[in-house]
Chains A and B, each alone.
Chain A
Amino acid sequence: MRHGAAALGVSLLMVSLMIASLLLFPIRPFEPIQGATLIETARLCPAPPTPCTPDTASARPVPLTWHVAPEGAGTWLEQDQSGIHSVRFLLLFDRVGGANDATALYLPRFSDAIQIEVNDVTLTKGRDTKGNLFHLGHRPFFTTVPNPLLQPTDNQLVITLSGYSFQSLSLSPVYAGEVSTLDLTFQIQMIFRAGMARVNFALGVLAGTAFLLFGLTQRRDPAFLWLAAASLAGAALCYYWIYPNFTANPRKWVTLWTMAAALQVWFTLNFIVGYVGARLVGLRLASGCLVLAGTGCMLWITETLIRPAMMLTQLSILALSLSILFVLVFYRARLRLVNFAVLFALYSMAIALSVTEWVAHYLLPDSEPVVTSPFIPVVVVCSLLWIIFYQLAQSLSQYEDLTRSLQTTIDERTAELHQSYDRLAVQTQQQTIDDERQRILLDLHDGIGGQLVNALAYMATQPDQDVVLQTALEDALRDMGLIIDSLEAGDSIATQLGLLRGRLESLLQKHTIELVWQITDDPQLPDGGPSQNLALLRIVQEAITNAIKHADARSITVRTTARSISVVDDGHGFTLPDPDQPTGPNTGSGSGIGLAGMQRRAETVGVDLEIASTASGSSVTLSW
């Protein structure tokens, strides 16, 4: 709530400051012009059919700007049956220049339909002040008076102003003088009033159509549809300035432009609410109903109520405009600072202009403020253009960001692709190696392995046993088994030991030796691989076969910890090789690679080999 109050306060303060600056420092709009007379008083004429002459006109002149409100209708006001009232002024002016020069009349501000007679000659043919009123209240008036019509002095100018009974009639000072000077002043005023209305109309139609097409086809974004609606409502508001007599029905006339103004504000509110990403359904619905009811009711209410209804409707439109400002301030955190600042400045300016217009029209009718209403649509159009420009800039920078991030992503993906290519190449290579290893394994297995087994089976059936050959074949078969195990179960030394045990089974049975198996822990070399494990297993195999074949043991114990393997037997021991005599007597035929070979292998793998032998048994311990 505090935020809301603060936002409202800021909005009101901003608008008040602007209104004050417009009202307190007015540019006096009716300055004397060189070469022209500024007529600042007029006499009122009685209602027709009494002619308007110096004799019939009011004795006392009234100061211009002179204003008559419907409720204060005096005797000078003529009221006809069709709800149109009129007032007549008599002004006197002198001819300027020589006998051949025309004299121009310039009326910067009046309300609403106008008829001009000079010396009883009507100069405004085709512009009705009865029936279908030709509403010219929003533009200046200029005419030249042909020279033959004029006397050197005291020419009689009769101005008849008409309007609907709910409109006030007013006349500001009148200029009479040189054609060229007044024409220029008139043209400048025209650009700011009717000209601006035309530009605004065209802009509103163009922008509205563009937003509508864009909203329908490209984005399906309701924000663009609200923008389109606001633009088109703005165009409708300008339409009544461009076509002063588009309808003869006073109710339709007043309803159209008040409703157009109200809807423009309401659509803009809807757009802004969506633009800042808020919902505020209640506010939007309530204000929408209020606006439609307030403006729509003017089609039916009694004629005397139309003027108060107009006042109230315009006030509620102002309140609605303030709520736009309020929404902007309240949700300012959702907008970039520059975007918020521009939109806030533009909308508060539009509101200030509207308020000034309203105050001048209803509360200070006799004052002479600058005409502000033509600038309101300009400010609104500026805000639209700003939004378009800002969105475009945002889109561009987003597009650039997107391109940049896409490029980064592409670079990253390319790098990843290269990496995965490399990985794939490594994998393919590994797969090829594995396939080839499998093939070699199968060849070893079925080919050489099968042949060795077959040869041993053959030898077993022969009467003459060649022990040396048989042992050699059996050793070869066991070694091959180790090689194959190291490739197939190379990561687990315990499993390789288990497999080794299976292959030694027949040898153990032949020698009737008990094997005590104590593989409690899975030994693990610090940086072991298949070849390290193979070397380790070879040493263990050598130790066990040595114990079986040469130690005459009854029992062999194989024991492991995580960092050691030991083979202990209860045989008679063996002679350790003399360092000076590497080939000891017990390392001869049948003992395979021998103790020296075991030592060498242990060094290669980086494990300690400890061999102890006594008459009551020996032990081989590998530790690391």
Chain B
Amino acid sequence: MSQTPPAQHPPAPSAEEGAGHSVLIVEDKAHTAGRLRLAVEACAGLFVCGVAHDLASAWTLFQTQRPRLVLTDLGLPDGSGVEIILAATQAEWPCDSLVVSVFGDRNRAMQAIRAGAKGYLLKSDPVEEIGQQILAVIQGGSPMSPKIARYLLNVLGPSFDGDTDPERQSLTERELEVLNLVARGYKRREISEILNISVGTVGIHINNTYQKLEVGSNIEAVMRASKIGLI
């Protein structure tokens, strides 16, 4: 899916402005939305096909523009951005979604990831980095914050009560190492140096971990997550 060349994408009206991947920005704060737009447009290979400030207009733009990627806030005036993430996951065309968040609050971030989001960006991230991360997602990567990594370690990592449920998708030793390093704030490049593997391999491990969370999103994992959430 991520290898699909941009030319095969259904032509969107604004695609004529320049070649590249179309990005729909859903953000209710005008200046923040403007900054995001600048960040996306500053990046070669990306263009903004629409900016929505609420869920309703986001819906219309999503249907008409058929974006390659949706960049959405979660707390919108008329609903949750998770709905547009779900729509992106179920879209007929290849469509990824990323959450933009102030700090990346864990509960909503996990909700978004379960709905199919590839991860989240911080609104305060440097402008250049925002564009790079979007490109990375389109190429098949998934950003992962230390908070999400810590959460995944809690949900999928070795349990303390020693139960070995074969149903549960447990993490491999390498995945555990990668997650542990992500949770401590290491960048992918640093992780690849520490573990002596390529940056791409680190990304594959991270993607696999995400998939295991989706497979493992059975009742038990949810229970454990909510139990941890109580602490």
Is A bound to B? yes
A interface list, Cβ under 8 A from B:
430-431, 434, 438, 441-442, 445-446, 449-458, 460-461, 477, 480-481, 484-485, 488-489, 491-492, 494-495, 497-503, 505-506, 509-510, 517, 519, 522
Chain A residues with Cβ under 8 A from B24's Cβ? none
The closest CB in chain B to the CB of A430 belongs to B230
Knowing A506-B124, A519-B184, say if A431 contacts B35 (CB, 8 Å). Answer: no
Complex Cα–Cα for A498 and B128 (A): 20
Interface stretch of the complex, out of B25-33, B134-142, B159-167: B25-33
Beta-carbon contact of A517 and B105 below 8 Å:
no
Beta-carbon contact of A442 and B75 below 8 Å:
yes
Which of A434, A489, A502 contacts B150 (CB under 8 A)?
A: A489
Shortest CB-to-CB span from A443 to chain B, Å, is: 10
The closest CB in chain B to the CB of A443 belongs to B75
The closest CB in chain B to the CB of A519 belongs to B184
Complex Cα–Cα for A492 and B146 (A): 10
Complex Cα–Cα for A211 and B208 (A): 76
Complex Cα–Cα for A456 and B230 (A): 34
Beta-carbon contact of B184 and A497 below 8 Å:
yes
Shortest CB-to-CB span from B52 to chain A, Å, is: 16
Q: List 5 additional A-B contacts (Cβ < 8 Å) besides A442-B75, A481-B103, A498-B146.
A: A450-B32, A454-B32, A502-B125, A517-B184, A517-B186
Shortest CB-to-CB span from A225 to chain B, Å, is: 53
Beta-carbon contact of A434 and B230 below 8 Å:
yes
Beta-carbon contact of B103 and A480 below 8 Å:
yes
**Interface set, chain B 216-231, CB cutoff 8 A to A:** 229-231
The closest CB in chain B to the CB of A508 belongs to B126
Which of A438, A453, A502, A503 contacts B29 (CB under 8 A)?
A: A453
The closest CB in chain B to the CB of A516 belongs to B190
Complex Cα–Cα for A450 and B77 (A): 13
B83 interfacial contact with A, CB 8 Å: no
Which of A430, A461, A477, A517 contacts B124 (CB under 8 A)?
A: A477
Chain A interface, DSSP helix/strand/loop, else mixed: helix
**Interface set, chain B 192-231, CB cutoff 8 A to A:** 229-231
Which of A438, A454, A497 contacts B31 (CB under 8 A)?
A: A454
B157 interfacial contact with A, CB 8 Å: no
Shortest CB-to-CB span from A450 to chain B, Å, is: 6
Beta-carbon contact of A441 and B105 below 8 Å:
yes
Beta-carbon contact of B30 and A446 below 8 Å:
no
The closest CB in chain B to the CB of A494 belongs to B184
Chain B residues with Cβ under 8 A from A509's Cβ? 126, 128-129
Beta-carbon contact of A454 and B183 below 8 Å:
no
Complex Cα–Cα for A522 and B186 (A): 13
Complex Cα–Cα for A460 and B42 (A): 15
Beta-carbon contact of A495 and B122 below 8 Å:
no
CB<8 Å pairs between A and B, sample of 12: A442-B108, A446-B102, A449-B103, A450-B75, A450-B102, A477-B124, A494-B184, A495-B183, A498-B146, A499-B147, A501-B185, A502-B145
B106 interfacial contact with A, CB 8 Å: yes
B45 interfacial contact with A, CB 8 Å: no
Chain A residues with Cβ under 8 A from B149's Cβ? 495, 498
Beta-carbon contact of B75 and A494 below 8 Å:
no
Pick the 9 closest A-B CB pairs, nearest first.
A498-B185, A498-B146, A449-B102, A457-B35, A446-B75, A457-B31, A454-B29, A458-B31, A519-B184
Complex Cα–Cα for A75 and B58 (A): 137
Beta-carbon contact of B231 and A495 below 8 Å:
no
**Interface set, chain B 1-31, CB cutoff 8 A to A:** 28-31
Chain A residues with Cβ under 8 A from B145's Cβ? 498-499, 502
Chain B residues with Cβ under 8 A from A510's Cβ? 126
Chain A residues with Cβ under 8 A from B28's Cβ? 450
**Interface set, chain B 25-80, CB cutoff 8 A to A:** 28-32, 34-35, 73, 75
Beta-carbon contact of A454 and B146 below 8 Å:
no
B107 interfacial contact with A, CB 8 Å: yes
Chain B residues with Cβ under 8 A from A522's Cβ? 184
Complex Cα–Cα for A475 and B185 (A): 20
Complex Cα–Cα for A138 and B175 (A): 102
B114 interfacial contact with A, CB 8 Å: no
Complex Cα–Cα for A449 and B31 (A): 13
Beta-carbon contact of B105 and A488 below 8 Å:
yes
Beta-carbon contact of A494 and B183 below 8 Å:
yes
Knowing A431-B230, A495-B146, A502-B185, say if A485 contacts B31 (CB, 8 Å). Answer: no
Beta-carbon contact of B29 and A505 below 8 Å:
no
Shortest CB-to-CB span from B47 to chain A, Å, is: 20
Beta-carbon contact of A499 and B146 below 8 Å:
yes
Complex Cα–Cα for A517 and B193 (A): 12
Complex Cα–Cα for A501 and B103 (A): 12
Chain A residues with Cβ under 8 A from B75's Cβ? 442, 445-446, 450
Chain B residues with Cβ under 8 A from A492's Cβ? 150, 183
Complex Cα–Cα for A488 and B146 (A): 11
Which of A431, A446, A450, A502 contacts B122 (CB under 8 A)?
A: A502
Beta-carbon contact of A506 and B186 below 8 Å:
no
Beta-carbon contact of A454 and B103 below 8 Å:
no
Beta-carbon contact of A484 and B125 below 8 Å:
no
Beta-carbon contact of A499 and B185 below 8 Å:
yes
Complex Cα–Cα for A489 and B187 (A): 19
Beta-carbon contact of B102 and A502 below 8 Å:
no
Complex Cα–Cα for A502 and B125 (A): 8
Complex Cα–Cα for A503 and B146 (A): 12
The closest CB in chain B to the CB of A509 belongs to B126
Chain A residues with Cβ under 8 A from B185's Cβ? 494-495, 497-502, 517, 519
Chain B residues with Cβ under 8 A from A450's Cβ? 28-29, 32, 73, 75, 102, 123
Chain B residues with Cβ under 8 A from A449's Cβ? 102-103
Beta-carbon contact of B31 and A506 below 8 Å:
no
Beta-carbon contact of A488 and B147 below 8 Å:
yes
Chain B residues with Cβ under 8 A from A456's Cβ? 124
**Interface set, chain B 94-126, CB cutoff 8 A to A:** 101-103, 105-108, 122-126
